Structure 1
């Protein structure tokens, strides 16, 4: 799963898509905990995945001379791929033992790991399944607070929960890159509050004709290349 990020003055991305294709390709692994007896709610899993990506981007180990900084730079030099896998029981415990960050939502737990080469996953992550991340919301999802950063999903696209989690992560990352340093610091200080919602069909066109960051999928899985999957609406970007 990947995206072509919107341009920004301080973006780490190579401006030429062809150059990103020629660069070594890395992937940001995310693992969602799905126990048979107590799976997370879908929307909470999407929101927790987005917060996990933001937490990784803002972690001191990911910037400057931090221990993950080189991997983060290598990852952002290529296509910005994220892959979500599922784990339970002993699988989850093995994943937790690897370097990374676990972010907890109301019902979801998502662990994000430093980027790895596309064909160089740690064995305890490589053996985890990508499929099987279909989740439901057992209760009605309330409307998003207008003052809350919101990642709007395309109402015309059907995505598995795993795919949607990766796309929400892309949207959160594009919002982060588009923000000023001051806005980033404020968002980080409040532990990255956000909402993920499916846009109303009547609302979607207005979201995609403005200046908000848009995720355009590369088309490796599930949906057609170039499809707009997410629009990132942060109050500081309006």
Structure 2
């Protein structure tokens, strides 16, 4: 799966707001997992929303924006339908798709570039993990978007019984950051599509960035 290199006018995009505490930010893996989980939980909350179908048929695009405690609270108050996802220390909210060129002002003014979380303590092993291509040197924000792409791509192609069990288990989720050789080797056994980036930001077009693996 890939993103389009240019956004069409009116193209839908899914906003994901990552909580970044100014004094005690979450570890990077925790934030990445929370952002990815927020993306799919927003869908699972209201899969009948027709915007999801339109969005998935277009660029499958996401915008990961960061917010400190004050702005994060404002977003949650302004969008009560937003799904809050928490993984370990990380928190993020996911919203349904909306036009990329007409985001609400509160969301549009949140920063996209330069999002970075400290390494922190790695997440414990989980039966479902997002694998990231560590050789690309992606920022936290970029990694969040690619992880969300991978998890969503897995979700829509996975067998319903597998997804239902994952939900029933409480959405256990891990994150692995592998060097290029190990990443490519693992991609052969990926549980879902291997994500290829369009190269809009940070990395070269066509770079393979993420996929999902299952350990059971």
Listed as ranges, the matches of 1:1-238 within 5 Å are 3-4=1-2, 24-59=10-45, 61-63=46-48, 69-97=49-77, 98=79, 99-139=81-121, 141=122, 144-145=125-126, 148-210=127-189, 212=191, 213-235=193-215
CA distance in 2, matches of 1:208, 1:175: 13
Corresponding pairs, count: 213
Q: Give the structure-2-normalised TM-score.
A: 0.89
SS in 2 for 1:186: helix
* Contact kept in structure 2, 1:44 and 1:106, CA below 8 Å: yes
Any gaps of 5 or more consecutive residues in structure 1? 6-16, 64-68
CA distance in 1, matches of 2:187, 2:99: 32
Contact 2:190 2:211 in 1 (8 A): no
Distance (whole Å) between structure 2 residues aligned to residue 153 and residue 105 of structure 1: 17
The Cα offsets for residues 146-194 of structure 1, whole Å up to 9 and x where unpaired, read as xx11111112211110110111101101111221111111111122111
Contact 1:47 1:196 in 2 (8 A): yes
Q: Secondary structure at the match of 2:15?
A: strand
d(CA) in 2 for partners of 1:142, 1:108: 10
For residues 1-60 of structure 1, give each alpha carbon's deviation from its aligned partner in whole angstroms, at most 9, with x where no partner exists: xx529xxxxxxxxxxx8xxx879511100111112112111010011112112212211x
Ranges in structure 2 where 5+ consecutive residues have no aligned partner: none
Partners of 2:199 and 2:38 lie apart in 1 by 23
Conservation of the 8 A alpha-carbon contact between 2:190 and 2:212: no
**Deviations 1:70-112, CA, capped at 9 Å, x for gaps:** 2212211210111111111332122112131111222111011
Return the structure number with greater strand share: 2
Query: Structure 1 residues 217, 111: closer, same or farther in 2, change over 3 A?
Result: same
User: What TM-score, normalized by structure 1, do the two folds share?
Assistant: 0.81
Is the Cα contact below 8 Å between 2:130 and 2:175 reproduced in 1?
yes
Contact 1:104 1:110 in 2 (8 A): yes
Q: Distance in 1 between matches of 2:38 and 2:17?
A: 10
Larger Rg: 1
Distance 2:123 2:74 in 1: 35
